[in-house]
Amino acid sequence: METVRVAIDLPVGIFSALREDPHRFVAEMRLTAAVKWYEMGLLSQAKAAEVAGLSRSEFLTALARFRVSPFQYSADEIIAEVGSA
């Protein structure tokens, strides 16, 4: 997998305020972005897991932590889909 390095300047105090070391903070930031992009429908589960640096099953567990549904379809969309089959 090819990667691109992105640098972000943050105040040093952010790490103590969030009680995270820089390495853990970056991992949490990646996960949070991946979950949000998945929730918005911008990324598939597989791509979001890749962004977060997790396996797909680990990403599904993380979705539960963020209270985000693993399903990208609403109940109405599923009912309409089943009804048209």
The answer to pTM > 0.85 is: no
Q: Name every residue whose Cβ is closer than 8 Å to that of residue 16 and which is 6 or more positions away in sequence.
A: none
Helix 56-65 vs helix 22-39: crossing angle, to nearest 10 = 90
Separation of alpha carbons 62 and 35, rounded Å:
8
pLDDT digits (tens, 9 = 90+) for 31-52: 999 999 999 999 999 999 999 9
Query: How high is the pLDDT of residue 46?
Result: 95
Q: Can you read off the two tokens belonging to residue 68?
A: 């985000």
Query: How high is the pLDDT of residue 12?
Result: 84
